[in-house]
């Protein structure tokens, strides 16, 4: 029996960042690997506790869960998972630099 593939959708914010990356950029390669893992329902990201969730995600995207996946040394992918066990959709919300991530979530930056 063929293994079910899950859907992955990228927000306009993620697509805008991807347009700025060259095809040889390691960040783009790593993001492609993470998307392939998501299509196989391998959620390797870290769950983000509720309290620091920015309004950007709760009001605009109406998320009920939020995850962070490191992409290379300097980028963080923010995503949510929607649907049921048999019909999951991974929705990519943001691809941020580490500094942008810290600022958005209220962590001190160096």
Domain harbouring 51, CATH code = 3.30.2310.20
Q: What is the percentage of the chain residues whose pLDDT exceeds 70?
A: 95
Residue 109 lies in a domain: no
Give a yes or no: residue 2 inside a domain.
Answer: no
Reduced to 3 states (helix: H, G, I; strand: E, B; else coil), residue 80 is strand
CA-CA distance, 79 to 63, in Å (whole number)? Answer: 9
Distance CA 75, CA 89 (A): 22
**Is 95:52 a contact under the CB 8 Å cutoff?**
no
Question: Residue 110 falls within a domain, yes or no?
Answer: no
Number of domains in the chain: 1
**Rg from Cα positions in the chain:** 14
Q: What is the reported pLDDT for 108?
A: 75
The residue with tokens 């029996």 is 1
Q: What pLDDT does 16 receive?
A: 93
In a domain, 15, yes or no: yes
Domain range enclosing 95: 7-104
**Band of the pLDDT at 52, cuts 50, 70, 90?**
confident
73 belongs to a structural domain:
yes
Confidence of residue 110 (pLDDT cuts 50, 70, 90): low
Give me the pLDDT at residue 79, please: 96
């Amino acid at each position: 029996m063929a293994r079910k593939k899950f859907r992955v959708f990228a927000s306009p914010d993620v697509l805008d960042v991807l347009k700025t990356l060259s095809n040889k950029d390691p960040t783009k390669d790593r993001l492609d690997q993470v998307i392939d893992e998501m299509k196989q329902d391998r959620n390797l990201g870290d769950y983000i506790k509720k309290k620091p969730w920015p309004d950007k995600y709760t009001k605009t995207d109406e998320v009920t869960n939020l995850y962070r996946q490191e992409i290379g040394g300097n980028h963080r992918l923010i995503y949510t998972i929607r649907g049921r066990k048999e019909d999951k959709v991974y929705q990519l919300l943001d691809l941020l630099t580490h500094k942008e991530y810290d600022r958005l979530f209220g962590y001190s930056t160096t």
